[in-house]
Copies of this chain bind each other. A is one copy, B any other.
Amino acid sequence: MNLDALYSKLLVKTNAKLALIVLDGLGDIATRDQNEMTPLEAAATPNLDALVAEGVAQGRMTPVAPGITPGSGPGHLALFGYDPLEFEVGRGVIEALGLGLELRSGDVAARANFCTLNAKGLVTDRRAGRIATEVCERLCALLAKKVKKIGDTEVIIKAGKEHRFVVIFRGKGLEGPLTDTDPNREGLPVSTAKPVNAKSAKQKKTAKLIADFYKAALPVLAKEKPANGFLMRGIAHQPAIPTFEQRYGLRPAAIAVYPMYKGLAQLVGMKKIEGPQTIAEQFERYAAEYDNYDFFFIHFKYTDKYGEDGNFAAKVQAIEEFDAALPILLKKRPDVLAITGDHSTPCSMKGHSWHPQPVLLHSACSGSDKLDRFTETGANAGSLGLFEAKFLLRLMQANAKMFDKFGA
């Protein structure tokens, strides 16, 4: 029997409340430069320590597969219990979500950036000299005004930072993925977007649409300097994903600050709760919404941000800020609480990595691993062992007593 089918078959309804707290990029590695301490180890976390003393299970999670460094998309899909190898979300879709655009089923989205073309139509600068964001916004507004539709298909254009923008095509019978129009080096013409699956009529239709979009949009930019052209990458459609509620029987809410994470939550059908800006405000809002949902995804960005900056002290401080706010959450304690990251972002690497992130699980039946603190090194000796991140949600459901026994 298929494992997802088994989980569905055994599912029982309870009144349990579950909360998943994601400290983005939480995991780190100990290096000599930092006295062999990770930020979690270096941080003062009295509230986490007290929770650990009450009894928690710990472990480490492989975000996707050994050695695979995930972006935010696959990292979060796994945390939401969706196998990121089964449910692939194209870069165009991720980028659109990151700009706060609402995507509908069937929409095709693409990352785009302005470029410079010479008189022969060859790309001379793939980033148009990294034009200022204001220029990008002006050009996108111009394009949006002049190219509202291609045939029956609606075109939605939104500016990002510097030379970057996103295009969404909303119409019938569209499908990704298509190949990029970015030739990947200067001196070549803009490539043609081609179906990845040559047999897909929908992909062929979408390829024609992209070509028509170029025909309509390039004249609009013809007199601009240096941004008189554009390149498109990651052309993909919003995938069909069973909703979180269908899959788990839980009414989910997302309390995130950054658009990307709201978007990823929305992708699986979570309700976005808008407003809170700090982790303390997020926890307060959780308490206020406690009765309205069964599952809360609460996202904290700064551990990742400072990891990317290589700023050890700031990552420590971000963890301490989270710890200081934790009592607000615990005042209205969820039945099942998981605290983890979507991947590691080691300060010494200044970027995402494949290192398994630590995870803490607390419930009336989580048991205690008798560790003193929640750290990477401690989690190595936890009862959850090393497991794939996509199973965390199933363990949370088990702790919520949401599964019948399998077999007699």
B394, A67: Cβ atoms closer than 8 Å: yes
Interface residues of A in 53-103 (CB under 8 A from B): 54-55, 59-60, 64-75, 84-85, 88-89, 91, 94-95, 98
Given A67-B394, A85-B6: A36 touches B385 (CB 8 Å cut-off):
no
| Residues of A participating in the B interface, judged by any CB pair closer than 8 Å | 1-3, 6-7, 10, 28-32, 36, 54-55, 59-60, 64-75, 84-85, 88-89, 91, 94-95, 98, 234, 346, 348-349, 351-356, 365-370, 376-377, 380-387, 391, 394-395, 397-398, 403-408
B407, A29: Cβ atoms closer than 8 Å: no
Residue from B71, B355, B365 within 8 A of A383 (CB atoms): B355
Chain B nearest CB from A24 CB (Å) reads 14
A29, B366: Cβ atoms closer than 8 Å: yes
CA distance A95 to B408 in the complex (A): 8
Chain B nearest CB from A231 CB (Å) reads 17
CA distance A313 to B282 in the complex (A): 44
Given A30-B367, A370-B36, A380-B381: A10 touches B68 (CB 8 Å cut-off):
yes
Give me 8 other A-B pairs in contact (C-beta within 8 A), A30-B369, A353-B365 excluded. A3-B85, A30-B367, A31-B55, A32-B54, A60-B383, A65-B391, A68-B406, A354-B403
Given A60-B383, A367-B355, A380-B385: A398 touches B30 (CB 8 Å cut-off):
no
B391, A383: Cβ atoms closer than 8 Å: no
Chain B nearest CB from A111 CB (Å) reads 9
* 26 A-B pairs (CB sep. < 8 Å): A7-B68, A28-B367, A31-B55, A31-B367, A36-B370, A59-B386, A60-B385, A66-B391, A67-B395, A68-B403, A68-B406, A70-B406, A71-B408, A74-B406, A84-B406, A84-B407, A88-B407, A346-B367, A351-B405, A353-B398, A355-B367, A355-B383, A356-B385, A369-B377, A370-B377, A386-B386
